[in-house]
Chains A and B, each alone.
Chain A
Amino acid sequence: LAKTTQPISMDSYEGQEVNITCSHNNIATNDYITWYQQFPSQGPRFIIQGYKTKVTNEVASLFIPADRKSSTLSLPRVSLSDTAVYYCLVGDYGGATNKLIFGTGTLLAVQP
């Protein structure tokens, strides 16, 4: 299972764009990259998933370079409610195990 490395914490202000980068140097061919958001005392919530290039949905964008050894979650115009821990995970979602190993995550603190 590919290990991920991301910053422990980040600070931002309301209205700014936030980019959180995750390193996954030993990502496998069949692995997808998924980002989750977790608020205190809640289960993780799916944000976005991708395999390569760029993926965009209504809440975020995910940028994945050609070598797929890293990925960047982009949150446009964050608000106070985006203060949470963000986890980057890689896994073979079509494979036999499907299990996800969580890394440390990034605590994003948004200030007014």
Chain B
Amino acid sequence: GAVVSQHPSWVICKSGTSVKIECRSLDFQATTMFWYRQFPKQSLMLMATSNEGSKATYEQGVEKDKFLINHASLTLSTLTVTSAHPEDSSFYICSAITRLGFAPYNEQFFGPGTRLTVL
């Protein structure tokens, strides 16, 4: 199946710094990627939808100036957490959609996640 990677897998940073997380579709082109955030023992929360070559669409309550998303190519989307604070510490997961073979529907593939810890 299709593979989505994330880098880094974990990152620790100081409060006030910015952190960039990359999401790559390794063997397919993804016109749309999604970014999720997951706190301990909670479900995944959709943060934004990222479309190649256009501005991301953010879910209600997600600050677009704090969580900058860039989808510069069909295989790469980046999430930058600006001026990170301890409350931004979370597990960030991306996903990408594609249509494989003759399937009548798109499939969504998830990355392995990035653990962000802000001190």
Contacts from A to B (Cβ < 8 Å): 32, 34, 36, 41-46, 49, 87, 93-94, 97-105
- Report chain A residues within 8 Å CB of B32: 98
- If A93-B106, A98-B97 touch, whether A46 touches B111 (CB-CB below 8 Å) is no
CB-nearest residue of chain A to B106: A93
Any chain A CB within 8 A of the CB of B45?
Answer: yes
- Residues of chain B in range 85-117 having any CB-CB distance to chain A below 8 Å: 91, 93, 95, 97, 104-113, 115
Q: Is the CB of A41 within 8 A of B91?
A: yes
- If A43-B112, A93-B107 touch, whether A102 touches B34 (CB-CB below 8 Å) is no
- Report chain B residues within 8 Å CB of A93: 97, 105-108
Q: Is the CB of B110 within 8 A of A44?
A: yes
- If A42-B113, A45-B110, A101-B46 touch, whether A94 touches B105 (CB-CB below 8 Å) is yes
CB-nearest residue of chain A to B44: A102
Q: What are 28 A-B contacts with C-beta separation under 8 Å?
A: A32-B105, A41-B91, A43-B6, A43-B93, A43-B110, A43-B111, A43-B113, A44-B44, A44-B93, A46-B107, A46-B109, A49-B105, A49-B107, A87-B43, A87-B44, A93-B106, A93-B107, A94-B104, A98-B32, A98-B97, A98-B106, A98-B108, A99-B46, A99-B49, A100-B34, A100-B95, A101-B46, A102-B43
